[in-house]
Amino acid sequence: MTGKYEVIIIGAGISGIKTAIDLYRGGVNNILILEARNCIGGRLKSVKSENFPHVTYDLGASWFHDALANPLFDKARELGNIDYYFDDGELVYFDKDDKTVPSWKFEHITDEIICYISLSYLKDPNKPDISLKQICQEYYEKKHDLIDPDRWGKAIATIRIFGELWHGESWDNLSAKFVFDEDGHLGRNVLVKSGYSKVIQNEMNELPDKFETTNIKLNTSVKCIDYSNDIINIHTGNDSFSCDYVVLTLPRSLYSIDDPNDPSYIKWVPELPGDFKKLSHYFEAGSLGKVVFEFSECFWSETVDRFYALSKQEPKNPNDPQPWDYPTILINYQANSGVPALVALTQNPLSSTIENFDPKTKNERIWQLFQPVIAQISNAKVPPQPINILHTSWNNDIWARGAYCTSKVGCPDSETLTNLFAKGLSNKIRFAGSETVDGSANGCAHGGWFSGQREAKYILDDIAKKL
Ligand SMILES: Cc1cc2nc3c(=O)[nH]c(=O)nc-3n(C[C@H](O)[C@H](O)[C@H](O)COP(=O)(O)OP(=O)(O)OC[C@H]3O[C@@H](n4cnc5c(N)ncnc54)[C@H](O)[C@@H]3O)c2cc1C
C-alpha cells in the first residue's frame, strides 16, 4: 500500500489526535495517522472491572492535573459526560509501626529538606548533580543534631514517596537538582472516574465520524523515516507512504533506541542530528506502575481518599522485593467509586520487577508484597485475599518503554530536552507528544493536547506562508 498525504501523524494518542483535529479544522484534511497498536489512545488506557461493572480503572493516566488550566477537564465539565472526583479529601499516612502517622511528625522537616535542596543549587549552580538519596544524606550529615531521629525517619520517607511516586523512579536515580524543580501546578488534581478512554472519545467526536476508519491506520508501526528529499517517505513493515509534513508523537523514551534489532527502532535517513544522540540517555522514562486489588468486601475506612504507606527500609535485592521496601500510595475506590478496591502506585525498579514475575506465581508474589501493607489500614485482623489483581506493564510495552519522562541524575534541565523536540528537525519534520511541552503540563495528558495544538498551528502557518 502506498499513498501521498499532506500530513502524516505517527501515533494516535492524545497528541496525535489533537494534531489531527486542529489540522482538520484549519482546512487540511489529507491526513493519515499511523498507529502501531490495535487501538487509539496510547498511554490513555482504561479497563472495565469484571467484578464491578460500573467501575473503570485507568492503567495509564488517571487524573486531570492542573485543574485551573486543563482543557480536557474544561471540556469534560462543559459536556457533562465524564464522572470525576477530587480525591484530595481525607488522607492517612502510615508505616510498618503505626497505623496513623500524624503529619506534624514530618511535614516541617520535609519542607526544610526540599528547601535545602533548592537553596543548594541556587547558591551554587555549579554544584554537581547527585541523587535525591545522596542529597538527603548530605542534609542529614549537616543537620542531624537539630532533628529528632523518629521525625527524621518519617520526613525522609515522605520525601521518597513524593519523589518516587511522581516520577515513577527510585530515589537512587532521581536528580536532586531537578526532582522538585517543577513549575508550580496550576490547580488541583481530579480523578477521572469514567476512564480516560471517554476523554479520548470526546476528542474523536471533534473529527468527522468516518475519520477513525478512513484516516487512522492501526497495527502499523513506522520503521523508517526518509527525509533526504523534499517529500518525506515513511516506511512501515509492508507499506510506504509519502507526505509534505510529518508529526511524530512517540513517547520520548523511544527516541533513545538505537539498536536496529529492537522492535521499536526507527531508522532515520539521514540520521538524527548529534544533539539527539548526545542527550538520548536522558530520554529514558521512569515507570509509575499501578496494581489494582479488588476484594469481595471493604475492610478499611470508606471515607479516606488516599493512604500513604511510608517506607523506612530499602530493597536489598530489587529482584526479590520484600514488603515495606518501597513507599506506595493506595487510592481508595471505596471512597471514590463505592467498590471494595484499592489501587497501589509503584515505582521502578518495583514496577519492572512486578511485570517480570513468573506468570504462574505472579498474583501470589504480588499479594505477599502488599498484604502486610494493606493489613496496616485494615479493620480485620487478617485482610482477606483479593478476588482479582491487575497490574500495568509500561516497561515491557514496546510502544511506551516506561510510563513518562523523568529527571535522572545528570540530566539537563527539562526545557533543554523539550526544546530539542519542540523546535522540530525542520519546518516539515515536527515533534508533538506530552514530553515536548515545558512547564507543569510536561509528561501529562493535557501536555500532549497542547503539543498537538502547537504543531497543527505551526503547520497551518507554514502552509499559509506559501500561499
Ligand atoms: C501509569 C501512567 C500514569 C499516568 N498518569 C497520568 C495522570 O494521572 N495524568 C496525566 O495527565 N498524565 C498521566 N500520565 C501521562 C499520560 O498518559 C501521557 O502523557 C499521555 O497519554 C501521552 O500522550 P501522547 O499522545 O503524547 O503519547 P502516547 O499516548 O504514548 O501516544 C503515542 C502513540 O505512538 C504510538 N507509537 C509508538 N511507536 C510507534 C511507531 N514506531 N509507529 C507507529 N506508532 C507508534 C504508540 O503506540 C502510541 O499510541 C500517565 C502515564 C502513565 C503510563
SS3 371: helix
- In this prediction, the answer to ipTM > 0.85 reads yes
Write the pLDDT tens digit of every residue in 167-203: 999 999 999 999 987 657 899 999 999 999 999 999 9
Q: How far apart are CA 65 and CA 61, in angstroms?
A: 10
Query: Which residue of 399, 436, 451 sits with most ligand 1 atoms within 8 Å of its CB, as the best mutation to test the pocket?
Result: 399
Q: What is the mean pLDDT of residues 324-343?
A: 98
The rounded Å distance from CA 168 to ligand 1 centre is 15
Residue 190's alpha-carbon distances to 183, 193, 196, 198, in angstroms, are: 19, 9, 12, 15
The rounded Å distance from CA 42 to ligand 1 centre is 5
Q: Is the CB of 10 under 6 A from ligand 1?
A: yes
Specify the DSSP element, H or E, that contains 292: strand 289-294
Cell output for 455: 504543531
With 0-12 / 13-18 / 19 or more C-beta atoms within 10 angstroms meaning exposed / middle / buried, residue 223 is middle
Pairing of strands 91-94, 306-309: parallel
Query: Which residue of 223, 224, 404, 435 sits with most ligand 1 atoms within 8 Å of its CB, as the best mutation to test the pocket?
Result: 404
Q: What is the mean pLDDT of residues 347-370?
A: 97
CA geometry: angle 464, 11, 398, nearest 5 deg: 155
Confidence label for 442 from pLDDT (cuts 50, 70 and 90) = very high
pLDDT at 467 over 90: no
Q: How far apart are CA 110 and CA 327, in angstroms?
A: 15
SS3 83: coil
How confident is the model at residue 228, as a pLDDT?
96
Q: Is the CB of 286 under 6 A from ligand 1?
A: no
Could you give all domains of the chain from N- to C-terminal order, each with its CATH number?
4-43+195-284+406-466 (3.50.50.60), 46-89+285-391 (3.90.660.10)
Specify the DSSP element, H or E, that contains 5: strand 4-10
Q: What is the mean pLDDT of residues 450-457?
A: 98
Q: Is the CB of 442 under 6 A from ligand 1?
A: no
Q: Is the CB of 103 under 6 A from ligand 1?
A: no
How confident is the model at residue 183, as a pLDDT?
59
Q: What is the mean pLDDT of residues 218-237?
A: 96
pLDDT at 62 over 70: yes
The rounded Å distance from CA 372 to ligand 1 centre is 33
SS3 334: helix
Q: Is the CB of 178 under 6 A from ligand 1?
A: no
Q: Is the CB of 408 under 6 A from ligand 1?
A: no
Q: Is the CB of 392 under 6 A from ligand 1?
A: yes
Cell output for 340: 471494595
Q: Is the CB of 288 under 6 A from ligand 1?
A: yes
Specify the DSSP element, H or E, that contains 72: helix 71-79
Cell output for 82: 465524564
Write the pLDDT tens digit of every residue in 260-293: 999 999 999 999 998 888 888 888 899 999 999 9
How confident is the model at residue 381, as a pLDDT?
81
Ligand 1 atom 21: the closest Cα is on which residue? 43
Compute, in degrees rounded to 10, the torsion defined by CA atoms 84, 62, 336, 157: -140
> Which residues have C-beta within 8 Å of that of residue 80, sequence separation ≥ 6?
none
Confidence label for 1 from pLDDT (cuts 50, 70 and 90) = low
Q: What is the mean pLDDT of residues 419-427?
A: 95
Write the pLDDT tens digit of every residue in 370-413: 999 999 999 888 899 999 999 999 999 999 999 999 999 999 98
The rounded Å distance from CA 28 to ligand 1 centre is 25
Ligand 1 atom 49: the closest Cα is on which residue? 42
Q: Is the CB of 42 under 6 A from ligand 1?
A: yes
Q: Is the CB of 221 under 6 A from ligand 1?
A: yes
Confidence label for 237 from pLDDT (cuts 50, 70 and 90) = confident
